[in-house]
Structure 1
Amino acid sequence: MIYIICQTVGSCIGGSLLRGGIGHARALETHNGGCFLDPNGPMSVGMAFCIEFASAFALLFVSYGVGLDPTQKELYGAALGPLLVGALVGMITASTSGLNPGYSGAGIFPGRCFGLQVGVGQFYGHDWVWYVPDFAAAILHGVVYHFAPPYTRECPLSATSCPREGGGAGEASPSSGDTVSLDEEGVVTLEARV
C-alpha cells in the first residue's frame, strides 16, 4: 500500500512539474503529454479498454514470467530481464500511439495517467478506462500465474547430469528416477532405470 501511495504522489508531483515546465496553456492543449481519449472520435471507450487490457496483461506476463522472475535468472541472466521489460514497454507505446485520432495510446500504468491529469487539472467521465483494465489484467495474470506457473528447472543449466524424478505411471518410488546427461559435444542422453 505504501508503494502505491508513493507512486501516486510521485506521479502527481511529476505531472505538476511538467505543467510548470511547458506552461499551463500548452499543457491543456497537449493534455500534459498524458493519457487522452476523445469518446466522440473513431476510438470508442470499449476499444480503448481492450487495448489497455491487452497491453497491461502482456507487460505483466513478460515482466513476472520472464524478466523479474528470480528462477529465470540463470537462463536469461541479470541484465536481459529489465531489457526485455523495457523493450516491451517501448513496443506497446509505439504500436498503440496514434492508432486513431483522439487516442493517445495505451497508458499501461495507472499512476502515469493519473499524475499527468492531476498536473493539468483535466479529468473526464471516462478516465476509468486507464485504471480498470490494468487492475483487471493484474487479477487475471495472478490467476494464470497461480494455476500455470512458469517452468522452473530442478537442476542448474551448468550441471552436466540431472536426475529426473519418476514420471511413469508404474513408478512409485521417486528414488528410481531417470538420469539426463549432457556430454562435451552438447548431446543429451537419457538413462532410464527399469
Structure 2
Amino acid sequence: MAHSHSFHNLRHRKERSERIDQRPSVSSRPFAGRIGGNQEFTIAPDDASFTTIISKVPDAAATFTWKQSFSLAGFSDVELWKESLIEGVGTCLQIYLAGLYAVGLAPAVTETALGPITPATFGSLANWVLIALFIYAGGPVSGGHFNPLITMSTFFAKLSVFPRTVLYIVFQCTGAVIAGWLVRASLGQPAKSFEGVPGCYIDPELVTPAQAYVLETMSCFALVFIAFGVGLDPRQRQVLGPALSPILVGLALAICTWSSGIARPGYSGASMNPARCLGLMSSAERFTYHYIHWVGSITASMLNGFLYWLVPIYKPESA
C-alpha cells in the first residue's frame, strides 16, 4: 500500500513537471540599464541571437562602445518603442498618484507647528513605497526608470544607448504632463493651487538660482550614486539580488526627499525627477526655476558617469 502511494506521488510530480515545461516562455528583452536587475538580464556573446539583438539594441549586452550607443538603428526597433510607451504610461501613473498626495500635503507646511517637517516626512514615506512598487511593476519590461534622471544616468554610464535615452525621456515627459493635467482635472482646482507642490516649488525671493542648483545637483547625485550601487552594479548581484534593490532605491529617494525638504526656507525639496516637475508645474502654469531641475539632473548624471568611467565595473579585456 505504501509502495502504491509512493508511486502515485512520483507520477503526480512527473505530470506536474511536464505541465510546467509546456508553459509558454516568458518574453523578456535583455537590458543592461534595468533598475533592480544588477545587470543580470543581459545577453551573453555566446548566445545564438547575440549579433541580431546587438545590431538593433547594443545595451542588451553588458558593454558596448559610444559608437554603438549613437547608432540610429535603435529608432527603428519596434520593441524599443513599446518599452518607451511603458515608460510613458508608468511615469503618468506614478506622477498622478504622487501629484495627488503632494497637493494634499502642501498646506501642512503652515498648518502644523513642525512646519515643512510634517509634509516632508509623509511625502518621503509615500515616495519610498511608490517608487519601489513601480520599479517592480515596470522593471521586467522597460527597466523601471520612470524618471529622466535615471535614464540620463544610465546613458552617461554606458548602460543605455542614445535612441533608448531619447525615446524614454520623450515618453516620460509626455506622460508627466498628462498626469499633471489629470491631477488638476481630478481636483477641480485653479492653476494657482498647484504652485506650491513640494519638490517643485522654489521661492525666488528666498532662494537664489545658485543655491537651488547646488541643492538639486547634490540630491540627484546622492540618489543616483545609491541607485547605481544597489540596483545596477553587478557586484551586488550576489549580495542584494534583483528583489531587494527596488526597495533600497525607494529608500534612497525617501531620504533625499526628506533631507532636502526641511533644510532651506523657500525650498520645498529636490525634484530628482524633472519630468515630475514638468508635469505638475505645467498644471500650475508656473515654471519658476524649472530649468534647474534639468540642469541639476544632467550635472549629477555626468558626474556619476565620470565615476563609472574612472572606476569601471568590468575589467578591461586582456590583449
Amino acid aligned to 1:59: L
Q: Secondary structure at the match of 1:33?
A: coil
**Match 2:287 to one of 105, 123, 147:** 123
Q: Is 1:90 paired with 2:241?
A: no
CA RMSD of aligned residues (A): 1.9
Distance (whole Å) between structure 2 residues aligned to residue 5 and residue 151 of structure 1 = 31
| Equivalent residue runs for 1:1-194 within 5 Å | 1-25=166-190, 27-31=191-195, 33=197, 35-41=200-206, 43-124=207-288, 126-150=289-313
CA 1:55 to 1:150, structure 2 compared with 1: closer, same or farther past 3 Å? farther
Cα deviation digits, residues 108-162 of structure 1 (max 9, x gap): 01111111111222123x321111011011011111111113589xxxxxxxxxx
- Cα separation, 2, equivalents of 1:5 and 1:117: 17
Poorly superposed stretches of 4+, deviation over 4 Å: none
Cα drift, residue 29 of structure 1? 2.9
- Alpha-carbon contact 2:217-2:296 (below 8 Å) kept: yes
Unaligned runs of 5+ in 1: 153-194
Kindly state the Cα deviation for residue 33 of structure 1 after the two structures are TM-superposed.
2.4
Whose helix proportion is higher, 1 or 2? 2
* Structure 2 residue identity aligned to 1:108: M
- Max radius of gyration: which structure? 1
Query: What TM-score does the superposition give when structure 2 sets the normalisation length?
Result: 0.44
Aligned residues: 149
Report the 3-state secondary structure (helix = DSSP H, G, I; strand = E; otherwise coil) of the residue aligned with 2:240.
helix
CA distance in 2, matches of 1:62, 1:101: 26
CA-CA distance at 1:32 after TM superposition = 6.3
SS at 1:24 equivalent: coil
Q: After the TM superposition, which of the residue ranges 29-38 and 129-138 deviates more from structure 2? A: 29-38
Answer yes or no: is the 8 Å Cα contact 2:194–2:280 preserved in 1.
no
- Does the CA contact (< 8 Å) of 1:65 and 1:150 recur in 2? no
Contact 1:24 1:120 in 2 (8 A): no
- TM-score normalized by the length of structure 1: 0.70
